Each structure stands twice: as C-alpha cells, then as structure tokens.
Structure 1
Amino acid sequence: MKQILLTNDDGFDALGLKALIEALTPLAKIIVVAPAKNKSACGHSLTLDKPLRMDCVADDYYKIDDGTPTDCVFISLNNLFKENYKPDLIISGINIGANMGEDITYSGTAAAAMEAVLQGVPSIAISQVCKDRCQEIKNGWDFALAKETIFTIVKQIFEKEFPLPRRRFLNINIPPIKPQDCRGIKITKAGYREYGNDTHRHYSPRGEEFYWIGLHPLIWQASNDKNCDFEAIKANYVSITPVMLDLTSYDDMKKLDNWLKKEN
C-alpha cells in the first residue's frame, strides 16, 4: 500500500488537515506529523536552539511541540520510517489562506514541501484561497473542491508518476468556490505580489510598545500573458504552479560577471 506523509502550518487539529486526511484515506496509508500550534508564515525554518518533543495523538498521528512544518518533515523522515525507506508522497495543507506569488517564500505550507523534495520525496503544497479573511472557513466551509482536486492529482501520480524532476514540487491553490463553479485546472507561474504596510502599533497596560503584523490584501501585478496564479484564481480556476528550489538568476550571471570585470 502507498504511504503519504501529511503536515501543515495551521496546526495538528486544523480543519484543512482533517479534510486532507478524509480526501486521501481511500488512496493510501496516511501518517500525520504536524505542528502543535499555528506556524503560519514561518518560512523554511528549522529549529536548532532547543529540543523538540513529538507526541502521539492517535495511531499514525503526531504533533511536534512548537515545531515548524520543516521540523515535522525532517524529524518524521528520520525517525518514523525505516532506513532506506521513505513515504511515496508528502503533502502539506490544506492551508487556510492563499500561498501565491512571493508568499511562497513566507509560507510554512510551501516550506514543508520544499523540505520534502530536499529529502528526495515528491511533494505537494495545497492551499484554500479565502474571501473575507477566511470567514467562510469559520462558517463551515467543506473544502469540497480542494478535496476533489487533491484526490484527482494524487490518484494520477500513483497511476503514472510524479510529473516533476528532483527538487521541485507542486504548489496548488484552490479558488473559494464550489466544485460546480470551477472552470478547470490551469498550470500557472507564480505572480508578482504587491505588499502594503499592515503593521499596527499598540501599548501594553504598562506602557510598553509592541507591534502586530496584519494580513495584506491579495493584490498583484497583472502579467502580459494572464497566466499567473492570482489571475487563475480570480477566473475561478484551480492553480497549479511547478516550483523549483534553485534560486539562481541565470539570466544575470553573465551580466554580473561583466559588471565585476568592468569595476576591476
């Protein structure tokens, strides 16, 4: 039987994770290792300054106390699986909120998928885009389109093969609509996100100053070919973006070399 390791950055008891378990249980044995609490926007961080405890919540279900999604993948691969054996797939999500454009670099959800492919395991990050700051999730959103999409993608992977080479993962974003309103799946590039300054200054009862970083609206730069993740979601498509971990700007290597020689 195939094995899938699940994690997320919303915490071990998140609704999106439970929806992911429900969607994939018919396809494989599910093992869950997730943070004990919300770790949104923690990026690809690994905990090095303190020990971490992995607690068993239920059969094949664990939480890591104050661990990041990267910790969850790293620790589970090196402790829950036999030597020279790894899960067939690692999936991170279903995140509550979008992970598109440069938000991928902040995302704990995407970071877990990054760690998976660094460890040689094919991976997927999946996120549920929300309206009104995820109010619909609080009102009982059923993740129907996300569950249908991930089931279809994973089934195809198991029947064929993972479609990307090493050190690359699939980043899936689901529009906030019902399945019957979805226009299909688009393969997209990561768009250019525009950021504001949603930082709030407050004072404690003792007069100490502190800051709270808020949520930025989903604003992006329009692309000429109208084929970025933001535009696909706006048009009611599921967005699937292939993401690579090689951050080298190859187009600038020659330019930089010439600049350096000129300066010298």
Structure 2
Amino acid sequence: MPKILITNDDSFEAKGLEVLIDAVKDLGEVYIVAPAHHKSACSHSLTITKPLRFVEIEKNFYKLDDGTPADCVYLSMDKLFKNDKPDIVLSGINHGANMGEDVNYSGTAAGAFEGAIHGIPSIAFSQVLKSYDTPPTEVNWENAKKIAKDLTEKVLKRKINIPHRQILNVNIPNTKEIKGYKVTKLGYRLYGFDAHKHLNPRGEEYYWIGLHPLKFKEEDNSDFNAIKNGFISITPLKLDITAYESLKELQTSIND
C-alpha cells in the first residue's frame, strides 16, 4: 500500500488539510505532519534556532510545534520513515492561490519542494479564492477534493511522471464549472507595497505587512490566465533555479 505524507502551511486545523486527507485516504496509508500554527509566506525555511516537538493528534496525525512545512517534511523522514520513504508528498490544500512569483514565498510550495529534495514525487495544491477574506464555507471544496484525488492517483499509478527534483504546483479555480486541466508556466505577478505602520501602547513603532490584490500581467499559457478562464493550472517547478540563459553572457562579461 502506498505511503502518503501530507503537510500544509495553514496549520493542522485548516479546512483545506481536512479536505486533502479525505480526498486521498483510500489511495494509501496516510500520514499527516502539519504546522501547529499558521505559516503562510514562510517560504522554504527550516527552524534551526530552537527545538521542535511532534504532538500526536491521532494515529499517524501530528502537529509540529512550532514548525514550518519544510520542517514537517524534513523531520518526518526520521520520525515516521526511517526505513522507507513515502511514495508521495502532498502539500495543501492551501486557502488561497500560489501562482507566479508567490511560489517563492509559499510555505505550501516549500512543503512539496522539501519532498523533492528527498527524492519523493510531490504536489502542492492551492485553492484560488475570489478574495483573500473568502471564508472556507464559501469555497467549492468538492471540486478541490476530486482534483486532489485524481492527480494523486495518477502519480501513484505512474500515469503522470514527476521528474527527479521537480514538483507539480496545482491551482484550482473557485467555480462550480471547471473546464479541465491546463499545463502552464508561472505568470508575472504585479506587486504593490502594502505595509501598515502602527504604534503599540508604549508608543513604539511597528509594521504589519498586508495583502496585495491578485493582479497579473496578461500572458498566454500562464497559471493566472488558466485560472481566469476556469481551468485548473498545473505548473511543473524545479529546485534548480539557475538562470542558464545568462551563463554565457555573464562569463563573457567577467572575462572582458
């Protein structure tokens, strides 16, 4: 029976995690290690300045106090899989999109990337919302559940091959009628600046980073474009972020 490791960045209590567990529970032996607290935008950080503790919620279900998604996958290799690695790592289902440059900030994507580092086929799932404050009750989780099960099953049955040190980054539109799958590139996210300055009761200044509207450059075959048109976006991503197209020019410039 395949071993499935699940993590996320919205905490062990997140609705998306519950949906993902339910989606794949019949496909193999499921293990869950999720952060004890919300870890959105933590990127691929590992905690090296303090100890971390597994807290058992129920059989094969742990929260990591106070870990990141990457911590969860990394430490699971010793805690749960000393002899055999899991057959697949699933991260999500994130409450919100992870498209374009957002994958560089994403704890959801990082959970999958940590799986790829350990040579395990990995998928990051994100549920796109109409707005950031869309509550879980207004999300069409049934679509997300079906998609997560379908893609996981196809990878486990090797109908879909995820190359070594790559992941699949999946974004699901929040609509009743989904038109199908589209394999896409990362889009060009348009960022602003949203930081709020405040004073605490002692008169000390502090900042709170806010949220940006989901704006993007119009491009064919991008993840944003697929979602805008009602398709599920599947973007293959890799750990090697070398800008190969710049190698020759840079070498020439250095030698001149």
- Shorter-chain TM range is over 0.9
Q: One-letter code of the match for 1:258?
A: T
Q: Give me the TM-score of the superposition, normalised by structure 1.
A: 0.94
- Deviation of 1:133 after TM superposition, in Å, equals 1.4
> Which position in structure 2 is the counterpart of 1:147?
145
Shift of 1:161: 4.8
Matched ranges for 1:27-66 at <5 A: 27-66=27-66
Q: Structure 1: which 5+ runs fail to align? A: none
Structure 2 residue aligned with 1:131: 130
- Residue 164 in structure 1 maps to residue 162 in structure 2: yes
User: 212-221 or 67-76, which moves further after superposition?
Assistant: 212-221
Which residue does 1:173 correspond to in 2?
171
Corresponding letter in the other structure for 2:60: D
Tell me which of 228, 232, 243 is aligned to 1:249: 243
Shift of 1:158: 2.2
State the number of aligned residues: 256
Is the 1:130–1:136 Cα contact (8 Å) retained in structure 2? no
Where 1:17 maps in the other structure, the secondary structure is: helix
Matches within 5 A, 1:88-237: 88-137=87-136, 139-178=137-176, 181-223=177-219, 226-237=220-231
8 Å CA contact 1:97, 1:134 repeated in 2: no
Q: Does the aligned pair in 2 maintain the 1:96–1:134 contact within 8 Å?
A: no
Give the gaps of 5 or more residues in structure 2.
none
- Give the letter aligned to residue 147 of structure 2: T
Give the Cα–Cα distance (whole angstroms) in 2 for the partners of residues 99 and 118 of structure 1: 20
TM-score normalised by the chain length of structure 2: 0.97
Name which of 230, 234, 240 aligns with 2:234.
240
Letter aligned with residue 208 of structure 1 = E
Q: Could you say which residue in structure 1 is the equivalent of 2:254?
A: 260
Offset, 1:112: 0.7
Cα shift readout 1:182-223 (whole Å, capped 9, x = no counterpart): 111100000111110011111112111111111111111122
Deviations 1:101-127 (A, max 9, x none): 010010000001111000111100000
**How far is the alpha carbon of 1:244 from its aligned partner?**
0.7
Matched-pair identity in %: 50
1:70-81 to 2 correspondence within 5 Å? 70-81=70-81
SS of 1:196's equivalent in the other structure is coil
> Root-mean-square deviation (CA), in Å?
1.1
CA contact (8 A) 1:122 1:162 kept: no
Tell me, what secondary structure is at the counterpart of 2:92?
strand
Q: Answer whether contact 2:184 2:235 (CA < 8 A) is retained.
A: yes
